[in-house]
Amino acid sequence: MKGLTLGQGSGGRLTQSLIADLARAFGEGSPREMEDCALLPEGMAVTIDGFTVSPRTFPGGDIGKLALCGSINDLAVRGAEPRYIALSVIAEEGFDEEELSRHLSSAGRICRDERIRLVAGDTKVVPRGAVDGLFLTVAGLGLPRRRPELAMTNLRPGDSLILTGPPGRHGAVIASERYGLATEGLKSDCAPLWDLLSPLLDLPGLKTMRDCTRGGLGTVLCEWTEAAGLAATIDEADLPVDEGVLSVADLLGFDPLYLACEGTALLALAPEEADQALARLRSHPLGQEAALIGQITDDPLGLVEMTTLAGGSRIIDMPVGEILPRIC
Question: Which residue in 93, 250, 275, 298 binds its own copies (CB under 8 A)?
Answer: 93
DSSP 149: P
Our CB check for its own copies shows the closer of 107 and 304 to be 107
Q: Nearest-5° angle of CA 256, CA 275, CA 39?
A: 70
With b for 16 or more beta-carbon neighbours within 10 A and e for fewer, the 259-297 pattern comes to: bbbbbbbbbbbbeebbeebbebbeeeebbebbbbbbbbb
Q: How many CB atoms lie within 10 A of CB 125?
A: 13
122 binds its own copies (CB under 8 A): yes
CB of 210 to its own copies, least distance (A): 15
Task: State which H helix or E strand residue 195 sits in.
Answer: helix 194-197
DSSP 150: P
Question: Which residue in 66, 72, 90, 163 binds its own copies (CB under 8 A)?
Answer: 90
221 binds its own copies (CB under 8 A): no
Can you tell me the distance from the alpha carbon of 298 to that of 296, in angstroms, rounded to the nearest whole number?
A: 7
Can you tell me the distance from the alpha carbon of 204 to that of 221, in angstroms, rounded to the nearest whole number?
A: 22
131 binds its own copies (CB under 8 A): yes
At 35, phi and psi to the nearest 5?
A: -80, 175
Question: Which residue in 55, 113, 115, 132 binds its own copies (CB under 8 A)?
Answer: 132
145 binds its own copies (CB under 8 A): no
326 binds its own copies (CB under 8 A): yes
Can you tell me the distance from the alpha carbon of 293 to that of 233, in angstroms, rounded to the nearest whole number?
A: 8
Our CB check for its own copies shows the closer of 36 and 235 to be 36
CB of 75 to its own copies, least distance (A): 11
CB of 125 to its own copies, least distance (A): 3
22 binds its own copies (CB under 8 A): yes
Q: Which stretch binds its own copies (CB under 8 A): 137-145, 182-190, 225-233, 287-295?
A: 137-145
88 binds its own copies (CB under 8 A): yes
Our CB check for its own copies shows the closer of 117 and 156 to be 117
Question: Which residue in 57, 59, 86, 187 binds its own copies (CB under 8 A)?
Answer: 86
Our CB check for its own copies shows the closer of 118 and 251 to be 118
Can you tell me the distance from the alpha carbon of 301 to that of 80, in angstroms, rounded to the nearest whole number?
A: 33
Rg of the chain (C-alpha set): 19
